[in-house]
Chains A and B, each alone.
Chain A
Amino acid sequence: MKVAMVSSAHVHASSYASILKSNSKFEFIGIWDDNIERGKSFAKNFEIPFYENLNEMLQKSEAVVITSENAKHLDHFRLVAGKVKGVLCEKPLATSIKDASEMLKIAEASSTKLGVAFPVRFHPVSQRVKEIFNEGEFGKALIITSSNRGKLPPGWFTDPKLSGGGAITDHVVHLVDLFRWFTENEFISVETFLGNNIHKDLKVEDCAILSLKLGDTPMTLDCSWAMPKSHPYWGEVKFRIIFEKGVVEADVFSQNIVFESNRSKEVEFINYGQNADENMLVAFAEWIEGIREDFPTAIDGLQATKVVEKAYESIEKGGVVVING
């Protein structure tokens, strides 16, 4: 599949680019970026063409991956909708319910399928847990705790105009999407508990725990940028599910070799688990080709965005805020 990239702003752009480059399923057409300097250096890095003219690139492409700043997703989707068969938009789909709904509307009115990058679904650990839910032998999930914590991300991630917010915007959507997919339920309400900011000079929040209702199941979600600089890995996706007839504990990205370096004098985790991004990109291509039915869509992106917006509303108003009545 001929795939091009729109913007290299997001930290995940490099991961997707190396997969598009190395996996034989893909032909990597090139990149367009509204920041020409950034785009050119990215293109050079991956030895792919840089396009100053977006439409010229789209004419050669079947699908596009949008990895721009969160707040630009809507505008960039507008530019490509109707011109390619499929778009994979980096999470979160948008920074507001309004924008996410608009994207869904555009997608539905055009010939372009809009998917959202929720790679955690595509990790073999998650796939196994999904089977446990589908088999149903453990009964109902009674209570869920979860955390998706990471290091402080660089650059625009902490500029609210471009990112839409801090750790809540960045991390909540992954586990929200995962558990919507696991349980096939919607989130009913949210209450946000903010901690003192860990990084004192930020304009956005970086420490928060959400108390959620998923259907009638209580769930907690820690989305903090809590990992210190010396932590050997980017972060974690962990959860514990207390079922009626059992317990499941997962630490999704923990298949790691520990490497203690003499050169950098640092400890590094080197993951040997399956590349969830790669599984996701292949699934995306199959979804666009029509040989696969399930893939996170704009509807899933909108639902996750709803939870985020309502989590901020809870901070403003205090207390429990209804998400889906």
Chain B
Amino acid sequence: MIRVGIAGAGFIGRVHAQSVDMMDNAVLSGIFDKNLEAAKSLAQLYNSNFFETFEELLDNSDVVILAIPTPYRKDFLELSIKKGKHVFCEKPLARTIEEAYRIKQIVKASKVKFMVDHVVRFFPEYRKIHDMILEGKVGDVSEVRSFRGGPFPGWSNWFKSFQKSGGVLLDLAIHDIDFWSWTLGEVQSIKAYALDFSESIERDHGVVIMKFRSGAIAHIEATWAYPKGSAFRTMAEVVGSNGRAKFDSESFNPLTIYSKNSRESLSPHSLTPWGVALKEFLKAVENDTEVPVSVDDGVKAVELSLKAIDSAKTGETKVVKL
């Protein structure tokens, strides 16, 4: 059994704990969070341990999942790799390009397996769109459009700080930036808009237009602008010479459960996309094979998202060098 520890007991840490719980070949070795109570309560949920220091978590794990806020990733990663632990890291890989490059350097110099959790690649609806494009079903791709978001992520305070989270472009639009560049190849230029680069973001909406070297264009919207209580929604659409393929999370409802004071919409699969991503990573750890999302992919997504921020701040279109 692979011992998997989780650093960070917030929203996404909980999601990862659920994934670990579903793995046949892994066991949750424990939780670390600087908020001890949060670590304790998540650990209890899965009958696992909680640790007061990250080092203790490392000592008890073969793999660590970094589900901590963006600015801390580099230091946690360095510690993990020093101890020879494999790392499954939340997106974005880093807050700055310097940190991203440094992470790449550390990872490449080590023998550990490292994967960035660009989980959108593992959502079956996105995977199907990706496959349809690669199999030529939609023909020569002309334009793609996507939308992602809902209310401001109210579960944690650090998203409010542009300095920490990078705002809606680095934290949310990066999903689509990564997905489309994975699917369509090299980006040539980026133009973007966003509303708030302050330390007290309460609402924001990001728009990104990317031009690809293939000639395709992309229109991405990522939002934290919807009123509290709105559903999180995703849409993607691709227009090619053979036709158009699209989905909208609102237009299909495989399962809706209405109970006292709540309405829950589910799209059940045997394994959640986070579970699939983790399973693929653990497979690479077990068999010493390549991970599906590399550190280079993580760096590229950060690079493009930071370019988008740069464009949004300056109003200029940014060229992406090869």
Interface residues of A (CB under 8 A from B): 124-125, 127-129, 132, 138, 245-252, 254-263, 270, 272-274, 279
Contact = CB atoms under 8 A, between A and B. Distances in A.
B297 to A, nearest CB: 22
A33 B292 CA distance: 43
Contact of A274 (B246, B247, B270): B270
Q: Is chain B's binding surface mostly helix, strand, loop or mixed? A: mixed
A257 B254 contact: no
B269 interface: yes
6 contacts: A124-B269, A128-B255, A251-B252, A256-B252, A258-B247, A279-B270
Contact of B127 (A256, A272, A274): A272
A257 B125 contact: yes
Interface of B: 124-125, 127-129, 132, 137-139, 241-247, 252-260, 266-270
A260 B246 CA distance: 9
Given A124-B268, A127-B268, A248 B247 contact: no
A255 B125 contact: yes
B253 A251 contact: yes
B283 to A, nearest CB: 15
Given A272-B124, A272-B125, A260 B255 contact: no
Given A247-B258, A273-B254, A257 B269 contact: no
B146 to A, nearest CB: 13
B258 A254 contact: no
Contacts of A127: 268, 270
Given A138-B259, A247-B258, A272-B128, A255 B252 contact: yes
A263 B255 contact: no
A258 B243 CA distance: 10
Which 3 residue pairs are nearest across A and B when measured between Cβ atoms? Answer: A124-B268, A272-B128, A247-B258
A119 to B, nearest CB: 14
Contacts of B125: 255, 257, 272
Contacts of A245: 259-260
Contacts of A255: 124-125, 252, 254, 267
B158 to A, nearest CB: 33
A283 to B, nearest CB: 12
B241 to A, nearest CB: 7
